[in-house]
A and B are shown apart, each in its own frame.
Chain A
Amino acid sequence: MQRVLNFLALFRRERKPGDLIFGAGFLVLALACLVAVPWQAQFLGKKSLVEEPGFWPTVGVVMMVVFGAIHFVCTWNAPRLPGRLKEVIVWARSLEFVVWFIVYVTAVPVIGYLPATLLFALLLTFRAGYRSLQMLGAAAGLALVTVLVFKTGLGVKLPAGAVYQYLPDGIRSFVMVNF
């Protein structure tokens, strides 16, 4: 037993709040991937093991399981710091901004890159707690410059908004190409 503890001590690390939850979650994911090896990583009975399509995913999964287990046990053994729930709440709070980002992504092909970026920058700046005209102006400026640099200047491939179809004939194609 002492030998095992000595071995694990080689990987000892300072524990942070939330570390154990992450370690456990990662180990569960690694074990789930290990269980899935037989039907997600095929072995076709080739002469050499390294030529099997399932070889490299299995290498990755085995590394995840072995090192993940060591990481989990070491974290379990380390002195606990309070604040686990608080930390998990911070992780969860980031999901709100994932939703913001996905809404932005969904809005671009519908209302167009320039309007979607302007709206996203202004609303998110407001949500981040900035109310001054200076900050909102800076957000609008950033959105405009981003669109002008990437879409108008560099011609990065981004879809034209569906609503642009309803613009007058004279400016429709110009707006579709540049904004």
Chain B
Amino acid sequence: METIIQAVELMFSWPVLVALLIGSIGGVVIGAIPGVGPAVAIAILLPATFSMEPLVGLTLLLGIYGSSMYGGSLPAILINTPGTAVNALTTYDGYPMTKRGEALRALGLAYGASFFGAVLSILILILLSPVLAKVAPMFGSREIFLAALLGIILVIIAHKGQMAAAGMLAGLGILLQSVGMEPVNYTMRYTFGLDWLTSGLDLIVVVLGLFALSQAFQLIVEPDSAPDAQPVSGSMFRAMCEIWKYRRTAATGGGFGVLMGIIPGVGEFTAQFLSYTAARKRSKTPEMFGRGSPEGLVASESANNAVPAAAMIPLLALGIPGEALTAMMLSVFYVHNVVPGPGLFQNQLDFVYALYLSLLLLNVIVILWMVVSSNLLIRIIRIPTRFLGMAILVLSFVGVYSLRNSAMDCMIAAGFGVFGLILKRLNLPTVPIILGMVLGGIMEVKLRASMGRIDSLLDLVNRPIAALLVLAIIVIVAQSIRTSIRDLRARHEESNKPHQNKA
């Protein structure tokens, strides 16, 4: 109880509250603009947060992360264009509802479901904290190494249909993190004799290039468009209250969101997919899914909004980010010498609780903001896309240049911007590069640290958590191979059918 009171004191300081307000409202606005998204905003703001107190900086970024999906559902429902990538499933049922003249109902349900999923996730997080505080110290160097390895494997496996691409890009990330002077033996790695590579490639420079600059280039080179959306009228609050009718669907969605958020490398897409599939199976009107089903809308929105809070679990408890946004937040911890991991729960539990409470408060701020601001946000959706591209370029400069006042960093970021543009246009994932960089670094440090107590491979699994992690890796890889082979056989049978029919 004393810890919670200390956390409340930490949270109710002016800088934290202002950061929370700016982050949550800014996140909604950013999420509502198709083509920007939280990754771009967080990448740009990241260096600016380095001069803030850790809780203030993290609250600002968390605000953007946690609220952007609320905003992203607005264009998904009104103009069939998801504001953020994870709102894509919302278009399936949200837009048909708008076409039926139920735009207000769809928006209300989406906001209500988002709030329901997010709050459920935060409450689970708070309840789990005492357990995490007990389990986290059981993670030594080798366990964290294995958890990071599991993260890399999951990132590759989660990109179904693109596993080879995800694998090669994760490999590129591991290589990129190793570039520069190696800190133990002081040997150069992949510097090719170039002085500017000696200090290595900064994660934030790569992130800004891959997320922000690539998005700016993409918006500028593609034809201009200014989406049109009609204002909605009626009581948004009453529309939101309808979520109570679909509380079981929302609770299931939230549950999937929590589960998928905890597992590194999986995230919102899988959570939504599982939630949507489960809701359709249980529905009395499954034929309405994809044609304007309120249950479908609730299932996808509750699942994706439950992920941000749950994604904080591996980050805070083990220092292992599960996806790109938490990977960016990890650098805020490092800059302030706050080391996320087992020690955080033992020594700074008030800080952890303050983060949870901030998450809770941000959802309250956002839901209140959404009640009054939907028609205002519709105006923001109408910003022409090439103008947005220009704006992102202007803002990206601050992010990259302010890191080290280095023009070379800007050139490197621009190079990664072009690379990111190519990946986006080819529909290839960028996240494995970032996770490869972050998790590759963690794996290198932790495996080296654990080598003192490891003589053979068996020593790697002689502790219960380590053994469990190795078992999880084996089961996941085996299951993935089994599923792939089953899909392959199904495809073969499918392709053989026409021949049999012809015969």
Contact = CB atoms under 8 A, between A and B. Distances in A.
Given A91-B422, A155-B51, A6 B386 contact: no
A74 B164 contact: yes
Interface residues of A, number: 75
B436 A60 contact: yes
B502 interface: no
8 contacts: A41-B190, A57-B175, A63-B167, A63-B170, A64-B172, A67-B167, A105-B397, A156-B398
A60 B221 CA distance: 32
B425 A50 contact: no
Contacts of B128: none
Interface stretch (B249-257, B287-295, B413-421): B413-421
B130 interface: no
Given A6-B488, A50-B447, A90-B425, A157 B174 contact: no
B167 A56 contact: no
A97 B407 contact: no
Interface majority SS on B: helix, strand, loop or mixed? helix
Interface in A107-128: 108, 117, 120-121, 124-125, 128
Contacts of B498: none
A47 B421 CA distance: 43
Contact of A64 (B168, B188, B488): B168
Given A30-B168, A67-B163, A74-B164, 4 more contacts: A33-B175, A94-B221, A101-B396, A156-B47
Contact of B418 (A60, A68, A95, A108): A95
Nearest to A19: B426
Contact of B189 (A10, A40, A108, A143): A40
A43 B222 CA distance: 47
Contact of B174 (A10, A11, A56): A56
B443 A121 contact: no
A158 B185 CA distance: 35
A130 B387 contact: yes
Interface string A55-83: 11101111110111011001000000000
A172 interface: no
B417 A98 contact: yes
A4 to B, nearest CB: 13
Contacts of A48: 451
B9 interface: no
Contacts of B391: 142
A53 interface: yes
Contacts of A33: 175, 190
Contacts of A60: 171-176, 178, 436, 440
A53 B184 contact: yes
B397 A91 contact: no
Given A60-B175, A121-B390, A94 B165 contact: no
Interface string A1-25: 0000010011111101011001000
A97 B485 contact: no
Give the bracket for the number of chain B residues in contact with chain A: 35 or more
A130 B384 contact: yes
Given A60-B178, A101-B410, A156-B402, A42 B167 contact: no
A131 interface: no
B338 interface: no
Contacts of A87: 425
Contacts of B390: 121, 124-125, 128, 139
B165 A71 contact: yes
Interface of A: 6, 9-14, 16, 18-19, 22, 26, 30, 33, 36, 40-42, 44, 48, 50-51, 53-57, 59-64, 66-68, 70-71, 74, 87, 90-91, 93-95, 97-98, 100-102, 104-106, 108, 117, 120-121, 124-125, 128-130, 135, 138-139, 142-143, 146, 150, 154-159
A98 B414 contact: yes
B462 interface: no
Contacts of A40: 188-192
Nearest to A126: B390
B422 A22 contact: yes
Interface in B442-480: 443-444, 447-448, 451
Given A10-B485, A40-B190, A53-B185, A125 B447 contact: no
B48 interface: yes
Contact of A56 (B178, B398, B422): B178
B339 to A, nearest CB: 21
Contacts of B387: 125, 128, 130, 135, 138-139
Given A56-B444, A91-B421, A154-B51, A61 B175 contact: yes
Most-contacted residue by chain A among B164, B384, B410, B425 (CB, 10 A): B164
B405 interface: yes
A126 to B, nearest CB: 10
A159 B403 CA distance: 12
Contacts of B428: 22
Contacts of B447: 50
B224 interface: yes
Nearest to A6: B488
Contact of B224 (A16, A22, A128): A128
Nearest to A143: B394
A101 B168 contact: no
Contacts of B51: 154-156
